[in-house]
């Protein structure tokens, strides 16, 4: 399915002047989903339209995690480099806290669980979700 880039928003789209504030419920202008109020609308924009992979439509909670996903899943050079050096980076965004890199994603996931105390079932593969937008 082709991904409609009009369903993805950028930082500029979050300016207060451009958000049409309404007191009662309304439909999202990007995807048509009903939202009950402005707070729900802003949350909807943040979680469903802001950090979307243009290759596979997977949505991530931050720009950092989206960039990691793009590199690891959609950059052919990355897979070649993993044969030569540790390329899977720790998922802690602040590199002053942890700048570790690993040979495999499994080693990285284990690091996240053991060092940064992520849940025992944590896997980067499970971060994010896919949004299927209906085409007109």
Cα–Cα distance measured from residue 94 to residue 18, given in angstroms and rounded to the nearest whole number: 31
Q: Give pLDDT, residue 67.
A: 96
Q: Give pLDDT, residue 2.
A: 45
Q: What secondary structure, in 3-state letters, does the chain show? A: CCCCHHHCCCHHHHCCCCCCCCCCCEECCCCCCEECCHHHHHHHHHHHCCCECCCCCEECCCHHHHHHHHHHHHCHHHHHHCCCCCCEECCCCCCCCCCCEECCHHHHHHHHHHCCCCCCCCCHHHCCEECCCCCC
Q: Give pLDDT, residue 11.
A: 54
Q: Give pLDDT, residue 109.
A: 96
Blockwise average pLDDT, block size 10, the chain, 136 residues: 49 52 77 88 84 90 94 95 96 96 97 96 85 57
Q: Give pLDDT, residue 119.
A: 93
Cα–Cα distance measured from residue 129 to residue 57, given in angstroms and rounded to the nearest whole number: 8
Q: Give pLDDT, residue 1.
A: 42
Q: Which two tokens stand for residue 110?
A: 């284990």
Write the CB contacts of 121 (distance below 8 Å, at least 6 apart in sequence): none
């Amino acid at each position: 399915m082709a991904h409609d880039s009009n369903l993805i928003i950028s930082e500029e789209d979050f300016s207060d002047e451009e958000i049409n504030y309404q007191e009662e419920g309304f439909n999202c202008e990007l995807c048509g989903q009903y939202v009950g109020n402005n707070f729900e609308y802003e949350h909807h924009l943040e979680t469903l339209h802001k950090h979307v992979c243009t290759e596979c439509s997977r949505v991530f909670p931050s720009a950092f995690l989206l960039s990691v996903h793009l590199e690891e899943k959609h950059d052919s050079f990355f897979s070649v480099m993993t044969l030569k050096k540790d390329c899977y980076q720790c998922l802690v965004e602040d590199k002053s806290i942890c700048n570790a890199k690993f040979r495999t994603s499994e080693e990285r996931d284990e690091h996240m669980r053991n060092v940064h105390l992520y849940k025992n079932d944590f896997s980067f593969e499970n971060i994010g979700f896919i949004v299927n937008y209906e085409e007109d």
